[in-house]
Amino acid sequence: MNYEGFCTRDALVNWLDDLAGQVSLVIPVNDSGFLLYRQVVSVADIAWLVGESGPSTEQMYPHRPVLAVKEMFFPSTEPLVKIKKKAQQVLLEETLPDKPQVVFGVTPCDARGVRIMDNIFIEDLPADAYYTRRRENVTMVGLACQEMGESCFCTSLGGALDDPSDMDIMLTEFEEGFLIQVVTEKGRSLLGKQKFYSDTSTLNLDQVTNRATHAAISPLIPIPDIEAMPRLFNHEIWDRLAESCLSCRICSYVCPTCRCFDLRDEMLPSENGYECYQRIRCWDSCSRDAYRRIAGGHTPRATEAERLRNRIFCKFNYSPRQYGLEGTVACTGCGRCIDACPVNIDITEILGCLAEVVNE
Amino acid sequence: MPVLSTKDGYEPKIIAYLCTWCSYTGADTAGIARLKYPANLRAVRVPCSGRVSPEIIMRTFDQGADGVLILACHIGECHYETGNHRTAKRFPILHSLMTFAGLEKERLRLDWVSASEGDRFSKIVNEFIATVKSLGPANWRVTSSDGIVVDRRMGVSGSDRVDRLLARVSQQRSPTSSQQQFVLNSHTANAEKSSAIQSVARQLLESGEVSLVIGYETGPRGRTRPAFINHPEDVDRLVWNQECTHNLATYLHGRLKTDAAAQSNQADEERSKRIAVVVKPCDSRAINVLTVENQIQRDQVHVIGVSCEGILEGSGFKSFADDQNSPYAFQSRCQSCQINKPVVFDTLIGEVSESRKIQVSADLISSQELWDLTPGERAEFWLSQFDRCIRCYACRQACPQCNCPTCLYERDDSLWVGMGTGLNEKRTFHLGRAYHLAGRCIGCDECEHVCPVGLPLSLLNQMLAQEVEKVFSHRAGYSMEASPIVSKLSGEERLP
Amino acid sequence: MNRKVDKNQMIPYLGKITQVNDLAADIKLLGVELSNGGAEAFCDYNPGQFAFLSAFGVGEAPFGIASTVNRGNVLEFAVQRLGSVTTALHELGEGDYVGVRGPMGNSFPMEQFQGKNLVVLGGGIGGAPLRPVIQTILDNRNDYGHFSILWAARHSSLLIFTEEYENWRMAPDTELHLTVDRADKLWGHNIGLITDLLEKVAPSAENAIAITCGPPVMIHFTGKMLSKLGFQPKQCYVTLEARMHCGIGKCGRCNLGNKLICVDGPVFSMAEVGELLESFL
């Protein structure tokens, strides 16, 4: 690990507090008992997050918000173009996002999710203008996890609790404060604004207890091989796995890599005699029953089993084959879907069942 | 119609829904008699006041109205006989709902006129406009999604009372000492019930009486979850414990072969002729509602009713097996539950008593506490809650009574509410859904339990259940009686 | 495939409606003229590609481009009134503006079809994306072998491009067969499903290519009949739809297995998607 420097807890809090005064700073915040990414409004929010008694003491482990950081780049509702109509005249106004933001406290699994979405929204041409713009405007400062949650399985997918690879800056906690790594130029330019840290020459790095690397790692979950998956398509196991599915959308919405969206024009108040509309996109999910309904009413994937199968295949076979994903799959092992599913449909259980079938 | 401007600058925007046969004509009469009413009023002519649905009224406020007036024919004078009965019945419920959510009660008014009552028309209208004007702009519509919530988190406009209530929203779910009066079942007691359920299931499946038993099982992580048993040899998966939170009646509608289903898109082969379902006393009420609304046929369901001593807070999402000595809390619905015997069953499991003492913890937020706030404070409370909503629709999907083929709030044409996550839309969705459930909701609170961001939906449903009982003496699901709000138009029903 | 990198692909071009013709009951043919950037984007499109039409204020839907680029700069779209977007499009007239995004998707490999015998099967509104295929073949008649067109609809009032049938029939070495499920008294042709007609016509699979477009159930059963007649999967082409939303491979809705209908299709050979079609139906 190549550390740029280290800082004390207080110095970090001060730096973030200062930053919040200059730019929109978003961090995981305790909102009515739920950890959610919110814009910082007081230093107390920052102190709670990075304090000694922070999220983990309130069972908000590690510090993984209910929704993934994807909402900074792919928000739940995004205005695309404003439409104004008067008689036969039509005017279009592109509404691109342009707010610079910093998001602090990103977990490595979330950052990996962003990288996966980059493959879909930017690398796969044509690039999506809105996602690309947000990606330019937002700087990600990561915070390593100090423990693996009960439902976490990032290590099964090649992740690590202190993996800096997809961040702009990465912080890892140790006894004296936080170790700092600069990963990108964007991160460097954010840090460069104020020197709140010291270099590591005074530390004996071999003896530093990096909490992330000392955390207990959960047993590995079998991840199906892309080539093996087609055999599983017609298996009857999907009926059993999906029986209790309510076809809500929680799993897709909390997932760091799910990105299906719906598109519609909606009415705005009129302006100067023009009828105004906003074309928006918002989150959608392949697990809902009318997702693939076409004109005339025909609905492919009419059963929960077909939809669950599609979702698993999309993550572990279709997306990697369609977009490359740099050799990985469209799952970061964050465990949110496991925690949030109201009927305990568990992706690790599913993967375990699939592995058994493959090995038969 | 041009709005009159005055020195103080604010002129209320009032929308009046006028029934063609009475009030619209009444307006004419007022005009003919040269009676004045201000031009703030924009009249929308409808064929009958019964046409003015709650969705229309909510949408009107969403679009910026400061006041909404509905004028209907006197009862007994409706041109369509019972159209105004609908109005009379739905209005008090909608009015309670919207005022509970923070609308000042004077802004929404229903009154009765006939075609010849030009004077009365003019008087009501002038009164209404004056009242709404004195209240100032409605501010019901939130124009940006983080307006109020950001303000209150910055401590700008928050009130202490609301602050304390907001803190209690999450505290309600935490264990407290006031839970002592609830007792955890012993392992033996649970095992006995589990065994009894397994026996019944085995017998039903072996005899072919049912092709599917829906019950509860323990998942690999120790969490209790729904189980679908098709074969007698699998019945050992079925369990009973105090984490059996799910309302399994929600699965019936989609899985039974019914006439309605035969006409729907879903393959008939996948549906069953007869299903057995394990229900708690609260869930059993849903069976009655589904039956009386023709969503299921009673003889197609074998109801395995289980007596219940309360369900633990957090059930379904964590395992209590490892937490034997940790503090626990019971769900809020259990604390106010009056029955431990299912209201309908084919097989009964467990010992029952006809009634139980209600033991509500002081931590629970009650409707009355919300009513004690000012309308502005209530609006702030609810908006700060709906702010967290992500429109995952888990609340709707978990509910047995939400079974419309296409949800009104998900229409392709965004007719009643947009599909996005703006605050207005989220509030309208939840209020609208609560209204649709009024008189039908059986208070299982699963909508609240499944919510990934803990919206306190039970507060809405509870309040409406209280209103419906007060106005109509009706409680959903205790008997085979449908909700009087929409189902009865005989003219013989009791009108509010 | 025209895929511009720097332009925001979610913003439509403005297209002016220059003609509206009734094609059949509830089906209209809209002619749309683009200017500036739009005209440039659509200066070169191929049979099989599609575009999104926006009814501003309502939404968008994808439509196969039913015209060929050599016939002028008016894009033609056959629109059947079924939902909110198509109803709104039906209410527009000459001089009104629609939004156009595209051209998107791949196209029929017409060069590979040269020298072969062709069988085109169009069912209902599915005939619209096949019309430019027919026009291309007839425009370059000598490049292709024997040509059979099987054209169907649920009812005689729903057949589209009826005014062009004479031209098609009159072309050299070309046969046109019509069939409807139900007909009025004036109908003088076949009554029955297109699969029955196909069995009756029994085109030879030798050196032949079959192209099908229509409702999913028609594609399914026609595929089976073609197979029965000896057509190999690589000889059968289909063009598919799946309620596409973005059209550029982002929203994930139109997946057929690991393929996306909007960017890997909408034109596919059965060799590519045969098995995957099971999940589509």
Would you say B410 and A288 are in contact if contact means Cβ atoms under 8 Å apart? no
User: What is the rounded distance in angstroms from the CA atom of residue B230 to the CA atom of residue B301?
Assistant: 15
In terms of domains, do B57 and B164 share one? no
Asked if residue A121 has pLDDT above 70, the reply is yes
Select from A182, A50, A175, A73 the least CA-distant residue to A119.
Answer: A73
| Contacting residues of C for A285, CB less than 8 Å apart | none
- Nearest residue of A to residue C13, measured between CA atoms: A92
Domain limits, chain C: 13-104, 110-239
User: What is the rounded distance in angstroms from the CA atom of residue C129 to the CA atom of residue C105?
Assistant: 12
Select from A356, A358, A350 the least CA-distant residue to A153.
Answer: A350
Contacts of A250 (CB under 8 A, 6+ apart): A337, A340, A341, A342, B392, B394, B450, B452
**Can you give the pLDDT at residue C2?**
38
In terms of domains, do B186 and B294 share one? yes
Q: Report the domain count for chain B.
A: 3
User: What is the rounded distance in angstroms from the CA atom of residue B263 to the CA atom of residue B240?
Assistant: 36
How would residue A146 be classed by pLDDT, with cut points 50, 70 and 90? confident
**Can you give the pLDDT at residue C73?**
87
Q: Is B413 on the interface with C (CB under 8 A)?
A: yes
**Can you give the pLDDT at residue A241?**
94
In terms of domains, do B92 and B183 share one? no
Q: Which residues pair with A5 in a beta bridge?
A: A180
User: What is the rounded distance in angstroms from the CA atom of residue B83 to the CA atom of residue B51?
Assistant: 8
Which residue, among A266, A344, A346, A348, would best test binding to B if mutated, counting the most B CBs under 10 Å from its CB?
Answer: A344
Q: Which H or E element spans position B147?
A: helix B147-153
- Nearest residue of C to residue B413, measured between CA atoms: C84
Q: Tell me the percentage of chain B whose pLDDT exceeds 90.
A: 56
How would residue C94 be classed by pLDDT, with cut points 50, 70 and 90? very high
Q: Which H or E element spans position B372?
A: none
> B436 versus B32: which is more confidently predicted?
B436
In terms of domains, do B319 and B389 share one? no
Instruction: Provide the b/e sequence for C267-278 (b: ≥16 CB within 10 Å).
Output: bbbbebbbebbe
User: What is the rounded distance in angstroms from the CA atom of residue A312 to the CA atom of residue A300?
Assistant: 17
Which residue, among B419, B423, B444, would best test binding to A if mutated, counting the most A CBs under 10 Å from its CB?
Answer: B419
In terms of domains, do B371 and B419 share one? yes
pLDDT digits (tens, 9 = 90+) for B432-451: 999 999 999 999 999 999 99
B213: phi then psi, degrees, rounded to nearest 5: -120, 125
Number of H helices, E strands in chain B: 18, 9
**Can you give the pLDDT at residue B175?**
66
Would you say B153 and B438 are in contact if contact means Cβ atoms under 8 Å apart? no
Nearest to A34 among B317, B414, B453 (CB): B453
How would residue B1 be classed by pLDDT, with cut points 50, 70 and 90? very low
Q: Is C43 helix (H, G, I), strand (E, B) or coil?
A: coil
Q: Is B61 helix (H, G, I), strand (E, B) or coil?
A: helix
How would residue B40 be classed by pLDDT, with cut points 50, 70 and 90? confident
pLDDT digits (tens, 9 = 90+) for B276-323: 999 999 999 999 999 999 999 999 999 999 999 889 988 999 888 766
> A51 versus C89: which is more confidently predicted?
C89
How would residue B180 be classed by pLDDT, with cut points 50, 70 and 90? low
ipTM, interface predicted TM-score of the complex: 0.94
Which residue, among A71, A240, A248, A308, would best test binding to B if mutated, counting the most B CBs under 10 Å from its CB?
Answer: A248
In terms of domains, do B310 and B266 share one? yes
- Nearest residue of A to residue B222, measured between CA atoms: A344
| Contacting residues of C for A264, CB less than 8 Å apart | 59
User: What is the rounded distance in angstroms from the CA atom of residue B39 to the CA atom of residue B297?
Assistant: 54
Select from C37, C11, C19, C133 the least CA-distant residue to C79.
Answer: C19
pLDDT digits (tens, 9 = 90+) for A292-337: 988 777 888 989 999 999 999 999 999 999 998 888 999 999 999 9
**Can you give the pLDDT at residue B34?**
57
Q: What is the mean pLDDT of residues A198-203?
A: 81
Asked if residue B3 has pLDDT above 60, the reply is no
Q: What is the mean pLDDT of residues C28-51?
A: 93
pLDDT digits (tens, 9 = 90+) for C17-36: 999 999 998 999 999 999 88
In terms of domains, do B315 and B295 share one? yes
Instruction: Provide the b/e sequence for C191-209 (b: ≥16 CB within 10 Å).
Output: eebbbebbeebebebeebb
User: What is the rounded distance in angstroms from the CA atom of residue C162 to the CA atom of residue C173?
Assistant: 20
For residue B92, the distance in angstroms to the closest alpha carbon of chain A comes to 30
- Nearest residue of B to residue A32, measured between CA atoms: B170
Select from B87, B105, B88, B106 the least CA-distant residue to B96.
Answer: B105
Asked if residue B6 has pLDDT above 50, the reply is no
User: What is the rounded distance in angstroms from the CA atom of residue B411 to the CA atom of residue B413?
Assistant: 5
Would you say B448 and A103 are in contact if contact means Cβ atoms under 8 Å apart? no
Q: Is C191 on the interface with A (CB under 8 A)?
A: no
> C196 versus B3: which is more confidently predicted?
C196
**Can you give the pLDDT at residue B4?**
39
User: What is the rounded distance in angstroms from the CA atom of residue C147 to the CA atom of residue A164?
Assistant: 61
Q: Is C250 on the interface with A (CB under 8 A)?
A: yes
Does residue B8 lie within any of the structural domains? Answer: no
| Contacting residues of A for B422, CB less than 8 Å apart | 77
pLDDT digits (tens, 9 = 90+) for B365-414: 999 999 999 998 999 899 989 999 999 999 999 999 999 988 999 887 77
For residue B86, the distance in angstroms to the closest alpha carbon of chain A comes to 30
Contacts of A162 (CB under 8 A, 6+ apart): A108, A144, A145, A170, A172, A210, A212, A213
For residue B87, the distance in angstroms to the closest alpha carbon of chain A comes to 28
The CATH number assigned to the domain holding B52 equals 3.40.50
Q: Which residues pair with A290 in a beta bridge?
A: none
In terms of domains, do B256 and B322 share one? yes
pLDDT digits (tens, 9 = 90+) for A52-82: 777 766 666 678 999 999 999 999 999 999 9
Q: Tell me the percentage of chain B whose pLDDT exceeds 70.
A: 86
- Nearest residue of A to residue C54, measured between CA atoms: A265
User: What is the rounded distance in angstroms from the CA atom of residue B300 to the CA atom of residue B293?
Assistant: 15
| Contacting residues of B for A249, CB less than 8 Å apart | 392-394
Query: Half-sphere exposure of residue A261, counting CA atoms within 13 Å on the CB side?
Result: 27
Q: Is B401 on the interface with A (CB under 8 A)?
A: no
Residue-averaged pLDDT of chain B? 86
Task: Compute CA B430 distance to the chain's CA centroid, rounded to the nearest angstrom.
Answer: 8
Does residue B140 lie within any of the structural domains? Answer: no
Q: Is the peptide bond before C266 cis (omega within 30 degrees of 0)?
A: yes
Does residue B141 lie within any of the structural domains? Answer: no
* Tokens read off for B290: 């589904």
DSSP B330: B
Asked if residue B36 has pLDDT above 80, the reply is no
Domain boundary among B349, B381, B398: B349
Q: What is the mean pLDDT of residues C241-270?
A: 92
**Can you give the pLDDT at residue B490?**
64
| Contacting residues of A for C249, CB less than 8 Å apart | 120, 124, 322
Nearest to A249 among B173, B393, B454 (CB): B393
In terms of domains, do B164 and B182 share one? no
Would you say A119 and A326 are in contact if contact means Cβ atoms under 8 Å apart? yes
Q: What is the mean pLDDT of residues A184-201?
A: 84
Select from C264, C249, C103 the least CA-distant residue to A123.
Answer: C249
Q: What is the mean pLDDT of residues C229-234?
A: 96
Select from C199, B242, B436 the least CA-distant residue to C190.
Answer: C199
Query: Half-sphere exposure of residue C227, counting CA atoms within 13 Å on the CB side?
Result: 10
In terms of domains, do B319 and B460 share one? no
Output the CA torsion sign for B394, B398, B400, B405. positive
Asked if residue B96 has pLDDT above 80, the reply is yes
**Can you give the pLDDT at residue B470?**
93
DSSP B250: G
The residue segments making up the domain with residue B121 are 14-135
Most confident option among B20-24, B410-414, C177-181: C177-181
B239: phi then psi, degrees, rounded to nearest 5: -130, 165
User: What's the CATH fold of domain C110-239?
Assistant: Rossmann fold (3.40.50)
Cβ distance of B419 and A343 shorter than 8 Å: no
Q: What is the mean pLDDT of residues A132-141?
A: 95
In terms of domains, do B189 and B163 share one? no
In three state form, how does the secondary structure of chain A look?
A: CCCCEEECHHHHHHHHHHHHHHCEEEEEEEECCEEEEEECCCHHHHHHHHCCCCHHHHCCCCCCCCCCHHHHCCCCEEEEEEEEEECCEEEEEECCCCCCEEEEEECHHHHHHHHHHHHHHHHCCCCCHHHHHHHHHEEEEEECCCCCCCCCCHHHHCCCCCCCCCCCEEEEEECCEEEEEECCHHHHHHHCCCCCCECHHHCCHHHCCCCCCCCCCCCCCCCCCHHHHHHHCCCCHHHHHHCCCCCCCHHHHHCCCCCCEEEEEEEEEEECCEEEEEEEEEECCCCCCCCCCCCCCCCCCCCHHHHHHHHHHHHHHHHHHHHCHHHCCCCCCCCHHHHHCCCCCCHHHHHHHHHHHHHC
Instruction: Provide the b/e sequence for B217-227 (b: ≥16 CB within 10 Å).
Output: bbbebebbbbb
Asked if residue A276 has pLDDT above 90, the reply is yes
For residue A341, the distance in angstroms to the closest alpha carbon of chain C comes to 22
User: What is the rounded distance in angstroms from the CA atom of residue A122 to the CA atom of residue A114?
Assistant: 11
**Can you give the pLDDT at residue B148?**
46
Residue-averaged pLDDT of chain C? 92
Would you say A49 and A215 are in contact if contact means Cβ atoms under 8 Å apart? no
Cβ distance of A261 and C245 shorter than 8 Å: yes
User: What's the CATH fold of domain C13-104?
Assistant: Elongation Factor Tu (Ef-tu); domain 3 (2.40.30)
pLDDT digits (tens, 9 = 90+) for C113-122: 999 999 999 9
In terms of domains, do B164 and B247 share one? no
Cβ distance of B453 and A342 shorter than 8 Å: no
**Can you give the pLDDT at residue A30?**
86
Neighbours of chain A (3+ CB pairs under 8 A): B, C
Q: Is A120 on the interface with C (CB under 8 A)?
A: yes
